Amino acid sequence: MKTFTRDDVFPADGVEIMEEQRAYKRAKVNMKVAYRDNGYVYKMGRVIDISRGGMLILTDHPPDDLDGYLIASIDAEEFGKIIWVQGRIVRKTESGIAVVFTRSDDKGLDMLLSYQGIPF
């Protein structure tokens, strides 16, 4: 799997930097994720940032359809736990996808974000 950074996925070149307006604070992470999109085929990737509202996945296999849904299992190795989430794909590039959560393992997500220093 290729190694990408957030800037590779969503470059800021020529884009005016705006004040952050996200509803949730994000945590930078590097976690394995297995996900299944509308094509019903499991794919692998890495979560590079996550919040209570969504995540950014780097993958060699982004889904074809924007605005599709996926089910994902995030490997929280620090806790020996898999965190289950379901979400809608809101943005994609050739190397990654941004997902807004529609359902999640709230306790697992709370534990992960708290460990990353983000209060819930």
- Check pLDDT > 50 for residue 42: yes
What is the DSSP code string of 32-95? EEEEE-TT--EEEEEEEEE-SSEEEEE-S---S-TT-EEEEEEEEGGGTEEEEEEEEEEEE-SS
- Check pLDDT > 70 for residue 102: yes
- Check pLDDT > 90 for residue 50: yes
For the chain, give every domain's residue range. 24-115
- Check pLDDT > 70 for residue 118: yes
- Check pLDDT > 60 for residue 76: yes
Residues 6+ apart with CB under 8 A from 42: 34, 35, 36
Of the ranges 10-14, 66-70, 71-75, which one carries the lowest mean pLDDT score?
10-14
Q: What is the CATH architecture of 24-115?
A: Beta Barrel (2.40)
Residue 37: the pLDDT is: 86
Read off the pLDDT of each residue in 106-120 and give the average, rounded to a whole number. Answer: 85
The band of 54, judged by pLDDT with boundaries at 50, 70 and 90, is very high
Residue 103: the pLDDT is: 96
